[in-house]
Amino acid sequence: MKEGAIQVMGDYGWMDYPYILNQGLLTITFPDGSKIPFTKAPSTTTPGQIGINQQNANPQATGAGLEWQLNGSLCSWSGSSGSTSSYSRTQKIVFDGRGNFQFGSESSFSSNAGIAYSGNPNVETGTYRVGENSVTLNFKSGETYQVKINMRQNNGTITELMHSGTLYAKGLCN
């Protein structure tokens, strides 16, 4: 941590992630310019009780559902390149491991005429439920999607989802 930024060690050294904390809302700016707001989840512990994260318990043993299996970022990427232009689009879903997610996207285009970039500042949010073979995404807008689990690791964590032929994977976020 340093004043106004969280420092993270990347492949090429330390990177700053500027943040703003205002009235309980933490907004972090990522290197690609996207901003993701975070709010503190209400405590589910009673006085004297130790929370799951504090005791490093296996979430699978708590009976709290399977949402712990989906935690962190999954991304999709699409693009094309020709002799005079190129286009790319990245979509990112960030799961909190407790049933909440945030979805955002960014696009870029370049040609002989110049470069254009669009990062969607309107991050969509919602809740999710993990099933045996799929994940149900319920957006706050009212839309619901059933997404296929494409890859689950031996420890139960989900690292790939597939929806309508689009792959969302942890490895595509790098």
Separation between Cα atoms, residue 170 and residue 126, nearest integer Å: 19
Q: β-pairing, 100-111 with 124-130?
A: antiparallel
On whether both 111 and 161 belong to a single domain, the answer is yes
Top-confidence residue, 110 or 112: 110
Tally of domains within the chain: 2
Residue 162 has pLDDT above 90, yes or no: yes
On whether both 23 and 78 belong to a single domain, the answer is no
Q: Residue 118: its pLDDT value, please?
A: 65
pLDDT digits (tens, 9 = 90+) for 56-72: 344 443 345 899 999 99
DSSP 164: T
On whether both 95 and 14 belong to a single domain, the answer is no
Cα atoms in the 13 Å half-sphere on the side-chain side of 100: 10
6 token code pair: 């969280």
Structural domain for 155, as ranges: 65-174
Looking at the domain assignment, is residue 49 inside a domain? Answer: no
On whether both 84 and 35 belong to a single domain, the answer is no
Region 142-162: what's the mean pLDDT? 94
On whether both 20 and 72 belong to a single domain, the answer is no
On whether both 7 and 91 belong to a single domain, the answer is no
Region 82-95: what's the mean pLDDT? 83
- The model's confidence at residue 134, banded by pLDDT at 50, 70 and 90, is very high
On whether both 145 and 72 belong to a single domain, the answer is yes
pLDDT digits (tens, 9 = 90+) for 27-48: 878 776 777 777 665 555 444 4
On whether both 28 and 71 belong to a single domain, the answer is no
On whether both 27 and 70 belong to a single domain, the answer is no
On whether both 33 and 75 belong to a single domain, the answer is no
On whether both 76 and 133 belong to a single domain, the answer is yes
The pLDDT mean for the chain works out to 78
Looking at the domain assignment, is residue 115 inside a domain? Answer: yes
Looking at the domain assignment, is residue 117 inside a domain? Answer: yes
On whether both 173 and 94 belong to a single domain, the answer is yes
Alpha-carbon distances of 14 from 1, 9, 32, 71, rounded to whole Å: 11, 4, 15, 23
Q: 167-170, long-range: CB within 8 Å, 24+ apart, which pairs?
A: 167/76, 168/74, 168/75, 168/76, 168/91, 168/93, 169/74, 169/75, 169/76, 170/72, 170/73, 170/74, 170/75
Q: Residue 163: its pLDDT value, please?
A: 94
50 token code pair: 């130790």
- Is the CB of residue 137 less than 8 Å from the CB of residue 145? yes
Whichever domain contains 70, its CATH number is 2.40.128
The structure's pTM equals 0.59
Region 81-96: what's the mean pLDDT? 84
